Amino acid sequence: MKKTELAAIVYERLKKVHPDAHCELNHSNPYELLLATILSAQCTDVRVNMVTPALFKKYPTPQKLARAELEDVEEVIKSINFFRNKSKSLIGCAQMLMNKHQGEIPRSVEALSELPGVGRKTANVVLGNAFNINTGIVVDTHVKRTAHLLGLTKQTDPVKVEIDLMKLFPNEQWTDLSHLLIFLGRRTCIARRPQCDLCNLKDVCAAKDKFLKAPKKVPRDTKLKVVGKASARK
């Protein structure tokens, strides 16, 4: 099967199973999504969603965050991994938004990537989910792992994985694809215990022979031999 054919099957089937696939970082506007995505680096969405309500309430605009004291931001997000560095990034990001973009969230990868704490992945998240601009494919650990297992790429570097996926899927599917593969990775193709029997992609998955091995058959006379030995002891 050609990879383009596999890609079409993967998207169609995952769309049927997860029609509600979406960004699981809670937010109500582009500014909030930007902050949440910065916090999500090496941290779970669940943990981020636990601290962002207080963060958004205290600093509802870039103007307020730009004037914030570092210690105050640290106190709000202290349960997040690397909270000290991320606090600096949040304030620096807000200051640059005010000084260079009049408090507005820019709409290009280049401009977003200039902001403290923002890289290509974060930029793709914000553009795709806040503005419906498909500039790339978000490749997190779930996307990288599931794409590799399915046979959509042989690369392990996130940038190279993204390039491979962008070649296989049409532009309008890029943001949606990330959500679909993330849902697959979190709900079915779980890293330590993949539930292959429940996956509707198991027949086309490149890793099916690894995870769907037939159980070893137990010889019929095994039980009889054990019983026989036990009887002999009596």
Residues identified as active-site: 121, 140
- Token pair of 17 as six digits: 């199973």
| Amino acid in position 71 | E
Could you give the C-alpha distances from 134 to 107, 120, 143, in angstroms and in order? 11, 12, 16
The Cβ of residue 109 has, within 10 Å, a number of other Cβ atoms equal to 19
Contact 132, 174 (CB under 8 A): no
Sign of CA dihedral 73, 33, 28, 185: negative
**Ramachandran quadrant class, 42 (left: phi over 0; alpha: psi -120 to 50; beta: rest):** left
Residues 113, 120 contacting (CB under 8 angstroms): yes
Contact present, 183 and 14 (Cβ < 8 Å): yes
